[in-house]
Amino acid sequence: MGRLDGKVAIITGATSGIGLCTAEVFVAEGARIVIAGRRAPEGEALARRLGGSCIFRQTDVTVEEQMQALIALAVEKFGRIDCLFNNAGGPAQTGGIEGLDVERFDAAMATLVRSVMLGMKHVAPIMRQQGSGSIINNGSIAGRLAGFSSSMVYGAAKAAVIHFTKCVAMELGESGIRVNSISPGAIATGIFGKALGLSTEAAEQTPAVMREVYKAAQPIPRAGLPDDIAHAAVFLASDESSFVNGHDLVVDGAMTGGRNWSQQQAGYVALRKAFDQGAG
């Protein structure tokens, strides 16, 4: 405990899933935080539960003026910003390239990419003045390899986030500011339900199902949890990662490492049987 003592952080998308869990863990580690989300009742309830170390501001992260106001609030209340976790996101349109709707494409890019740009743009001068800071952007393994999201638009947006992170890291690193991304694997949150068209309320009830569905998707025999990403964010926000910059931290239980060992061995057994049958 206490790995973030004295630090001030902003966490977007904090009313559910990874953002909510990260808010809890950051406060437990000693940080003072400003959390943002579109759903005021959920955000205000979380702030009350976390106490005086947490302030909520209702924010649409795609709107520049609202992101400016969020960042200004953190400076007004706490005097500095040590970490910005650009976590807010959401599902994007599914289906093939020929069926994509331009308005839905633009809306997804605004939520997933523009919001990250706005956060970095407006926190950068504050961190430059301080001479330090850590920006963390939420990527995805879908941004590293095709076929890891139900939406090609989501994958493309997250690829943009990962590369954008590296580009900005090269600039801001010269001012003592670290910029990194975290790419989660199959994390049991409501985003999968939202992607399949469930209401927000119904989607928030699906993580238990996701834990079961994804427990064999990677060598580690369980689905990823929001805690896994929250603790990775603690590392990147803390002084323990003071020489980590421009890095995409993959937290996926080795889902993207290759074929699972047991599947590979089962394939060899099937191949051997086919050889034996062919020889007969």
Angle between the N-to-C axes of helices 64-78 and 115-130, in degrees from 0 to 180, rounded to the nearest 10: 30
Cα-based distances in Å from 140 to 26, 147, 156, 255: 21, 12, 10, 12
- Number of H-type helices and E-type strands within the chain: 11, 7
Residue of 252, 235, 239, 257 lying closest to 136 (CA atoms) = 235
The reply to whether 154 belongs to the active site is yes
User: Which residue in 78, 148, 154, 192 is the catalytic one?
Assistant: 154
Question: Rounded to 5 degrees, what angle do the CA atoms 94, 97, 102 make?
Answer: 80
Q: Do 24 and 53 meet the contact criterion of CB atoms below 8 Å apart?
A: no
Return the number of other C-beta atoms located less than 10 Å from residue 81's C-beta. 22
- Report residue 263 as tokens: 């599947």
Q: Which residues contact 21 (CB under 8 A, 6 or more apart)?
A: 225, 226, 227, 229, 230
Task: Give the helix ranges, DSSP H, for 173-260.
Answer: 191-195, 200-203, 207-213, 226-237
Q: Do 246 and 180 meet the contact criterion of CB atoms below 8 Å apart?
A: yes
Residues with active-site annotation:
154
